[in-house]
Amino acid sequence: MMDLMLEAWVSSLIEISKLRGSDGASQRWKPGRKLKLLFAAYNGARNTGEDVRVEEMLRQFRRVLGEENVQPSVLTFDPELSRGYFGDATQIKFPNIFPPFLYREVPRHDGAVACLGAMFQRTFANATAAFMIGTVGIASARGKISVAYGGEAGRMDRVLSGMCRRYCQQSLLIMRNEESCVALRDLGLPSELGTDTAWTFEPHPSQYGREKLRRAGWNEKDPVLVVCPNNPFWWPVNASVAKYVARTLTGAYKESQYRSMYFHRTGAKADAGFGRYVTSIANAINAYRSRHKVFPVFVGMERLDWRACQAASQRLGGAPIFTSGEHDMYELVSIVRSAHMLVSSRYHGIVTSMPALIPSAGVTIDERIRNLMCERGHQHLLVEADDPELEGKLLEVLERLGKENEATTNAIGRTVVKNIKMMARMGESLERCVHERYPEFPARAARRNWEEYLPPLSANLRHLVEKYEIN
């Protein structure tokens, strides 16, 4: 019921925005003034993947549009947790009750960019999809640039599907895989094929990650196995006034409270599913290390993942844990890239490892990792998190990762380069969108090659492009 009320609230504010049009909005952009862009995502929660996505998005927008021409602002739940990120972008605190905030804030900018990876789907919460639809819907209703950039579309309930169909028609929708484009096409929405924006991210040098592993007990000889678990059975979160009141008055539901009125899924089924998940992962690793020398490490890509890391680590006798609560994105990705093999239930655990050509596998419960592994041609390295045979299948996957051949590494390298080039195409679409909305926006000098639509590439990425580029 609360989700329905939230969705109705967002829808009504978009409809009011349509009636108002450009009336009362910030002054239309004019030459001589920087273009004010609002980036709406899930920042300030120390979700490494979302932070990396937006960091690279901002670097690309500055490169494509000209740093001297744009004035970005980024929404964040907690400015302290996103301090030092996003360059000189203004960070705006984002409230838990967001519809009236979006209604006020979006019109103060010349455009809005929806950035959340799980953009038009209900994997984590109906509220996140309503947040993204509200962002682009209000922007287009007020005559602003309205862009959904490099996200995913998938399963939504009937109400969210209707909202998406009605309010995203006038937005530039760039999805990060073909499956997402199909999902929007089924709703009658045009979209462009793009990619995630994390591919160009460069963490601290490898020396940082290796030193952290040495301090955690690594002997520098055994292969490092990085595992990025989460709790797939906690999601989606749902709003509950009753639980919120009980939490406030009596302290109940402390363990399941996600944020404000939103609570994780709980109950015997969810608890049992999580128990099987962490036990299966730990047992598979134990079986693998009984046959092979390996140094297992758990990495929590989001602060919430420490629970899953701790539960699995305890079953292994105390394997080292690194989480985003203690390490920023530059540090944590450096640790991830120090792996010799990786298993992840976090999409960006895999994405951020791939530029280092680390053999990786996925344990998933939704479309995101599934789509990525299909793109790589590595469906055999994918296991469903709720598979009753997870333990045995994961052990088989670990054996494959430990014996990965050159063909697998090459497939990872080709996928990285393919997505970098796709990201450049997104930059072209962005440039075109801005000039269509504001024809007088400064045009950049003629570009010599596709790399000029990207943030500056690291030496490592340039090497991969030289080795794996396919014209």
Q: For residue 314, what pLDDT is reported? A: 96
Burial label, 159 (beta-carbon count in 10 A; 0-12, 13-18, 19+): middle
**Separation in Å, CA 1 to CA 15, 91, 97, 126, 299:** 21, 32, 16, 11, 36
Distance from C-alpha of 429 to C-alpha of 11, rounded to nearest angstrom: 28
* Distances in whole angstroms, Cα of residue 100 to Cα of each of 11, 103, 213, 260: 11, 5, 46, 16
With 60 as the cut, is the pLDDT of residue 241 above it? yes
**Alpha-carbon span 431 to 64, nearest angstrom:** 7
Q: Are residues 188 and 232 in the same domain?
A: no
pLDDT of res. 2: 75
The CA–CA distances, whole Å, from 361 to 281, 345, 374, 429 equal 12, 9, 11, 32
Note the pLDDT of residue 148: 97
pLDDT at 396: 97
Q: What is the pLDDT of residue 260?
A: 78
Would 389 be classed as within a structural domain?
yes
Provide the pLDDT for residue 25: 58
Name the band, by pLDDT with cuts 50, 70 and 90, for residue 417: very high
pLDDT bucket at 126, cuts 50 / 70 / 90? confident
* Sign of the CA dihedral with 164 first, then 179, 429, and 126 last: positive
Lowest mean pLDDT among 132-146, 234-248, 406-420: 234-248
User: Are 112 and 8 members of one domain?
Assistant: yes
19-28, 115-124, 138-147, 229-238: which has the minimum mean pLDDT? 19-28
The answer to the question of residue 281 being in a domain is yes
Confidence of residue 86 (pLDDT cuts 50, 70, 90): very high
What is the chain's mean pLDDT, rounded? 93
Residues 154 and 272 in one domain: no
Which of 149, 178, 198 is the last residue before a domain boundary?
Answer: 198
Answer whether residue 132 shows pLDDT above 60.
yes
| Closest by Cα among 163, 74, 175 to 119 | 175
Range of the domain at 48: 2-198
Say whether both 174 and 223 belong to one domain. Answer: no
- pLDDT at residue 93 in the model: 95
- Measured N-to-C along each axis, helices 390-402 and 268-291 cross at an angle, to the nearest 10 degrees, of 40
Same domain flag for 240 and 169:
no
471, pLDDT greater than 60: no
How large is the average pLDDT for residues 297-312? 96
Cβ within 8 Å of residue 228, ≥6 positions away? 298, 299, 300, 301, 305, 336, 342, 343, 344, 345, 346, 349
pLDDT-based confidence at residue 23 (cuts at 50, 70, 90) = low
Using the predicted structure, report yes or no on whether residue 373 has a pLDDT greater than 80: yes
| Token digits of residue 141 | 């209703």
Is the same domain home to 294 and 394? Answer: yes
**Region of poorest pLDDT, from 100-114, 331-345, 358-372:** 358-372
Show which of 404, 425, 440 is a domain's final residue: 404
* Interval 208-218: pLDDT, tens: 999 999 999 99
Which of 368 and 74 is assigned the larger pLDDT? 74
| Residues 228 and 343 sit within 8 Å (Cβ to Cβ) | yes
From the list 21, 10, 8, the residue with the least C-alpha distance to 139 is 21
**Whole-angstrom distance, CA of residue 212 vs CA of residue 218:** 9
Residue 358 pLDDT > 90: yes
Who's near 235: CB < 8 A, 6+ residues apart? 123, 124, 125, 264, 265
| Cα distances (Å, whole numbers) of residue 179 to 175, 195, 329 | 9, 12, 28
Query: Do 189 and 124 share a structural domain?
Result: yes
Lowest mean pLDDT among 22-31, 268-277, 390-399: 22-31
Spatial CA neighbour of 355 closest among 226, 201, 206: 201
The three-point CA angle 467-469-471 to 5° equals 145
Q: How far apart are CA 96 and CA 357, in angstroms?
A: 38
Given phi > 0 = left and psi -120 to 50 = alpha, else beta, which region is 426?
Answer: alpha
Q: Quick check: is 161 in a domain? A: yes
Residue 443 has a pLDDT of 84
The answer on pLDDT for 24 being more than 70 is no
In a domain, 427, yes or no: no
Which of the four pLDDT bands, split at 50, 70 and 90, describes residue 368?
confident
Q: Tell me what pLDDT residue 366 has.
A: 80
Residue 266's pLDDT band (cuts 50, 70, 90): confident
Alpha-carbon distance of 424 to 187, in angstroms, equals 27
Has residue 444 been placed in a domain? no
- Whether residues 13 and 105 share a domain: the answer is yes
pLDDT, tens only, 194-211: 999 999 999 999 999 999
- Are residues 194 and 210 located together in one domain of the fold? no
Please check whether residues 235 and 144 belong to one and the same domain: no
Last residue of a domain, one of 180, 198, 216: 198
Phi, psi of 101 (to 5 degrees): -65, -50
Residue 385 forms part of a structural domain: yes
Chain centroid to CA 319? 26
CATH of the domain at 340: 3.40.50.2000
CATH number for the domain spanning 35: value is: 3.40.50.11720
Provide, rounded to the nearest whole percent, the portion of the chain with pLDDT above 90. 80
Does residue 429 sit within a domain? Answer: no
pLDDT at residue 29 above 70? Answer: yes
- pLDDT above 90: residue 22: no
> Looking at the domain assignment, is residue 422 inside a domain?
no
Measured CA to CA, the distance from residue 442 to residue 29 in angstroms comes to 12
Q: What are phi and psi of 112, to 5 degrees?
A: -130, 140
pLDDT at 47: 95
Q: Are residues 214 and 173 in the same domain?
A: no
Q: Domain check: are 275 and 176 in the same one?
A: no
Overall domain count for the chain: 2
- 26 has pLDDT over 70: no
| pLDDT of res. 245 | 77
